[in-house]
Structure 1
């Protein structure tokens, strides 16, 4: 809580600013989970939303340490600079980092490489098996309701069955910030502390709190090629194809996932303030503008959530 917000509370007022209210809600969620569940874990890729979650978790438990570890599903096609940032951050906070490797599942023959080269749809099995093996009963995710319509209708506490699958009909009411974490043996709960943040809120909070991010989120010169209306980074994952020309452009990334499905946007925004101005003028959500995996079908995200993906 900021000094201004703390002063307001001490004075008996309840006039929290917008970002203070979002922060307070997220801190409350982290503490609720820590008090109610035995073995939580935080999904952590080194991207902006997971970094923001970790920042809020640190706030929630200061001066103590964060009472849970981190979990990342590494597709083998992640951006190297983001993975480096992930590792440095986990080490900085002294947190255990659990990694589920899609490449290991492909090498063992359990999963088969897709013809289009994208591995995002292949993350579900490594994720769900890692959750089961680690006996994690609550898994924090950075999903936000403004990102995509399937995420917009999901609760903050999202019950998953013994197969990690999501059934919209089993969602529970969440009135007055009361959350129901009850689950049967083998089930777990996915928890979304950033549900009510928007992309603009995220960046305004990052600016206020001076949260460090990988350089990929700011404008930089990079080799890219055009496919499906997006600028993709070349790599071993299968790009570019014949006829796709690589060129050097000044770009940045609004969201960071698998290189095969995450597009860059043309940008001159090199500071947080410039990024905020750019986002405020945008008419497309970050996933709608830059994530090819959400364009596979009209209900691509919801289909994957039902199977166990976030």
Structure 2
């Protein structure tokens, strides 16, 4: 009698697909939150596998801050066209124009937190009852408190002390009118799991994840891309560096790492030996010790 053994990547894939299918079974209007980053691209790939040969049965939602990397938007549009799925775009600029939020000013201004209002407005407009996201527990300590099914109240807020048990992979999707769930199928994946799976499945990614030349500004030991959204402080200069990105967010807050890793094998080797966290270069996480948790309590991704 032969033993049936699968790799840990296939176990993670199976778990994620089970959660994705559970969403389709329990909820009426689910969506997949798509940032254009590697985790949301991976999640989209898993959703495609979960329902193959049918198309993904729910829309992708992207909250456009207006400060995105051009590579991200280009990749998003190409992927949506290739998959033949619906794309819903929420606009932070539109929320600013309507007076729903006030834009930050100054050299360190960011639209990251402003996404909360646009996200909640988009979910409410489309009567979304479950939003799948690509968050992982190893990313950040606030993420580690999440369940697979993360309950949000009628205001879209998260209470980390009021999360439901998930024994034996039984997920309780019951909610009151106006409430919804954020669901994180790849919660148990690590950064290196993501990259090894991307290599295994030959998943395409935006070019900014691979080593390239870019004009940069070094601010508080964070390498930021020089762009129209960056206001130089006194003494700052623009320099050209060979960099890549480990995480994908807004241009003014997403730090790059100096790297010559231009292949998946080199990236995996680099991550295996690095001593810094994936979000270590995110300027928005440096504003306070509990910056991520504070945003999540207000309705952040």
**2:164 match:** 172
TM-score w.r.t. structure 2 length?
A: 0.97
Q: Does the 8 Å contact 2:95/2:101 carry over to 1?
A: yes
Deviations, residues 125-176 of structure 1 (Å, cap 9, x unaligned): 0001100111010000110000000000110100000100001122011111
User: How does 1:227-266 map onto structure 2 within 5 Å?
Assistant: 227-266=219-258
User: How does 1:88-237 map onto structure 2 within 5 Å?
Assistant: 88-115=78-105, 116-237=108-229
- Measured on the aligned residues, the alpha-carbon RMSD in Å equals 1.2
**1:21 match:** 11
Cα distance in 1, alignment partners of residues 2 and 91 from structure 2: 50
Against the structure 1 CA distance between its residues 244 and 170, is the aligned structure 2 distance closer, same or farther, given a 3 Å change threshold? same
Secondary structure of the residue that 1:182 maps to in structure 2? Answer: coil
Equivalent of residue 298 in structure 1, options 269, 277, 289: 289
Deviations, residues 81-126 of structure 1 (Å, cap 9, x unaligned): 1110011101111111111111111222222111222110111000
Against the structure 1 CA distance between its residues 175 and 113, is the aligned structure 2 distance closer, same or farther, given a 3 Å change threshold? same
Q: Give the superposition deviation at 1:177.
A: 1.2
Q: Give the superposition deviation at 1:239.
A: 2.8
Cα distance in 2, alignment partners of residues 61 and 238 from structure 1: 42
Q: Give the superposition deviation at 1:12.
A: 8.2
Cα distance in 2, alignment partners of residues 73 and 239 from structure 1: 23
When structure 1 is superposed on structure 2, of 261-270 and 99-108 the one drifting more is 99-108
Deviations, residues 278-298 of structure 1 (Å, cap 9, x unaligned): 0000122111x2111111111
Cα distance in 2, alignment partners of residues 241 and 222 from structure 1: 19
TM-score w.r.t. structure 1 length?
A: 0.94
Q: Does the 8 Å contact 1:45/1:83 carry over to 2?
A: no
Q: Does the 8 Å contact 2:243/2:259 carry over to 1?
A: yes
Cα distance in 2, alignment partners of residues 155 and 126 from structure 1: 24
Q: Give the superposition deviation at 1:13.
A: 4.9
The unaligned stretches of length 5 or more in structure 2 are none
Deviations, residues 235-268 of structure 1 (Å, cap 9, x unaligned): 2223323321001110000000011110010000
Against the structure 1 CA distance between its residues 58 and 12, is the aligned structure 2 distance closer, same or farther, given a 3 Å change threshold? farther
Cα distance in 2, alignment partners of residues 56 and 182 from structure 1: 24
Cα distance in 1, alignment partners of residues 33 and 148 from structure 2: 15
4+ runs deviating over 3 angstroms: 11-14
The unaligned stretches of length 5 or more in structure 1 are 1-10
Higher normalized helix content (fraction of residues): 1
Q: Does the 8 Å contact 2:55/2:85 carry over to 1?
A: no
Q: Give the superposition deviation at 1:14.
A: 5.2
When structure 1 is superposed on structure 2, of 126-135 and 227-236 the one drifting more is 227-236
Secondary structure of the residue that 1:158 maps to in structure 2? Answer: strand
Q: Does the 8 Å contact 1:234/1:240 carry over to 2?
A: no
